Structure 1
């Protein structure tokens, strides 16, 4: 069974569900070393039991959470691209194409930065 199927089934908007499913599949294909899981009722990917990236669906956007270190590392790039964000997540609007280049960078940064991390979250 698909790890994310139950989460996706709860999404009311079929277009948002399809987009979320596509993005989660892309992460799995591009980063096969990551483990997909549901935690805190959200799809996420881990590596050696440490958090790499999480996703959640809202009415107007998909939130992507790379932890604060990832946000801080790419803050200027986020601003330059005009992505709406908080200190802990990026809001990718459903009506805009996913910024796969940025998503790849966020994931790769966390994989490399947390290579020696022994906890789920950074300390």
Structure 2
């Protein structure tokens, strides 16, 4: 987790910082083979140098970004659960519990779907 310390130190609200730290630690523990990375000032995880999942913090929410193709298998669930989203990310209001089951499935999907990918982003 020390890898993300500099990023976490820039999140002003202690509660937001702790929630982001918890999410990053969860991914690190659940998927120890993924490599942590900071790019575009955001924490993310890669597998064989291809993007798997990224996170961002704003004043209002924590966002998870699995790429649009990494969200498509989960559209029905995202809509049914009324999760705030765009084509490429799902936003969780600070303090709201994160759907770790959904996050795990998105990460697993991207790992499998991008197993032969040789670029950072899908083409």
> What range describes the TM-score normalised by the shorter chain of this pair?
over 0.9
1:92 CA drift (Å) = 1.0
Q: What SS does structure 1 have at the residue aligned with 2:95?
A: coil
CA RMSD of aligned residues (A): 0.9
Q: Can you list the C-alpha shifts for 1:35-78, whole angstroms capped at 9, x where unaligned? A: 00100100000000000000000111101100010111211110
Q: Deviations over 1:4-60 (max 9, x none)?
A: 110000000000000000000000000001000100100000000000000000111
Unmatched 5+ stretches in structure 2: none
Could you tell me the TM-score, scaled by structure 2's length? 0.97
Q: 2:70 aligns to what? A: 70
Superposition pairs for residues 30-109 of structure 1, below 5 Å? 30-109=30-109
CA distance in 2, matches of 1:36, 1:120: 14
Partner of 1:112: 112
Partners of 1:70 and 1:51 lie apart in 2 by 11
Q: Match of 1:15?
A: 15
Which sections of structure 1, spanning at least 5 residues, go unmatched?
A: none
Q: How many aligned residue pairs are there?
A: 123
